[in-house]
Amino acid sequence: MDSQALLNDLTEALISGWAVTPTGTGFLITTDWTWPNGHAIEIYVRNVSEGDSLFLVTDGGELFNNFFLEGLDFTSETATIHTVKQMAQSHGTELVEYQIAKGANDSNLGLSIREMLEAVKEISFYLWQRMGENTLKH
């Protein structure tokens, strides 16, 4: 196998389990990456301009919703929220009203989706660890 064949195989393997569903205002991307609870990570892409050139990429608030459903609300923990904001920024995303969000255009939409996925995965592991610490305290 040469390097190009490996690259093609790797590209296919990385997204073969994904689904892209058109919505009225953009796309719902269901990945085969999972939250620590095993549910698929979904990424929401919403068109925010007249044409198809500007998008808002978000986790739809699922990061915090997943932990709230587990009985944990980190929204009042100032230090935790500060760390989440820093982690989001390290991936070029922002924490906005308890959603991870990023603006994109048609030329960097794929990269923005990847950055969103990396941000929510890293932050979810951090919060999962915090959840364990909170559980142990009770």
Q: What domain range includes position 52?
A: 16-137
Tell whether 5 is covered by a domain. Answer: no
Answer yes or no: is pLDDT of 138 > 50. no
Answer yes or no: is pLDDT of 136 > 50. no
Which pLDDT does position 133 carry in this prediction? 67
Tell whether 8 is covered by a domain. Answer: no
- For residues 50-88, b (16+ Cβ closer than 10 Å) or e, as one string? eeeeebbbbbebbbbebbeeeebebeeeeeeeebbbebb
Tell whether 121 is covered by a domain. Answer: yes
Which pLDDT does position 15 carry in this prediction? 85
Tell whether 42 is covered by a domain. Answer: yes
Tell whether 3 is covered by a domain. Answer: no
Assign residue 69 the CATH number of its domain. 3.30.1460
56-76: per-residue pLDDT in tens?
999 999 999 988 887 888 888
Tell whether 24 is covered by a domain. Answer: yes
Tell whether 41 is covered by a domain. Answer: yes
Question: Do residues 126 and 77 touch, judged by C-beta distance below 8 A?
Answer: no
Task: Report the domain count for the chain.
Answer: 1
What is the distance, to the nearest Å, from the Cα of residue 75 to the centroid of all Cα atoms in its chain?
18
Q: Is 47 exposed, middle or buried (0-12, 13-18, 19+ CB in 10 A)?
A: middle
Reported pTM: 0.86
77-107: per-residue pLDDT in tens?
899 999 999 999 999 999 999 999 999 999 9
